[in-house]
Every structure is written in structure tokens, then in C-alpha cells.
Amino acid sequence: MRLMIAVVMGVVLAGCATTQRPEYARASRGDMAMFVKTFEGALVSKTMEEFEQNEPRWWWPFSPRKVTAVYLKVTVANATDRRTFFSFSKDEEGVSELRQYNRELKKNDIVIMDLGYIDDKTDEEPFERITKKTP
């Protein structure tokens, strides 16, 4: 009896997992974009630090590999507020992106800070992307 109940429950759960949602229940990237928090203002300052970290290799822990990590901190101010944001990355793509922000952004540039879906409004908070606003 218990085996039969387990089999029936497995079939029901498998059916629920493969059932497609109706069209009205699907959310697109455009739908989710309206919930992204941003902060717009003039770039006051930026600081970038690069350093190397040793990470152990899973197959040979006695010979760690060196990984370059980048920490970027920016301060942005608008008419009502002045906030500091940061980002840290040690993967190759993220490091390249942070270096590009540091290279291309200049003081007093108008920027839009993409904070993701949460805006903590703390002294220093993480950002996902910086977009330079063009006139």
C-alpha cells in the first residue's frame, strides 16, 4: 500500500514539475526590469584596488593558483543624497568589467547605478552595473 502511494505521489510531482505555466503567469526580462532599483547622480570619486589571491586547487592543494581580484568603490551624489557603492570580482569577466568602469568613468560624469532588486540605502552597498548617462 505504501509503495503504491509513493508511486502515485511521484507521478503527480513529476507531472507538476513538467507542466507549463499559462501565458499570463510568465514573466519576461522586461517585466522584471521594472523592479530593478537604480540611483542616478554625478560621480564624485572612484577607487579601484587590485590584488592577487592564492586559491587551492581541488586536485593538488599544495600548489595554489594565483587569481587576480578587483575591488571598485564609487561615490555618487545627486541633489538629495550622497551614496557609496562597491563591487568585487575575481572571475575574469567581472575583473574586466570593473577595470573598464575605472578606465572610462571620469569625475562629474552622470551615472546610473544598477542595484539589482534590493536598495539597502546603507553607507556602502553593492552594485551590479554602472551606466554612463549621455546628454
Name the percent of the chain lying above pLDDT 70: 82
What grid cell was written down for 86?
562597491
Domain-located, residue 102: yes
- CA nearest neighbour of 85 among 52, 51, 50, 112: 112
Domain-located, residue 7: no
Block residue for cell numbers 544598477: 114
How many domains is the chain built from? 1
CATH number at residue 67: 2.40.50
Per-residue model confidence as pLDDT tens digits over 93-116? 999 999 999 999 999 999 999 988
- CA nearest neighbour of 101 among 123, 86, 81: 86
Residue range of the domain that includes 55: 27-132
> If you average pLDDT over residues 5-15, what whole number do you get?
73
pTM for the complete prediction? 0.68
Domain-located, residue 20: no
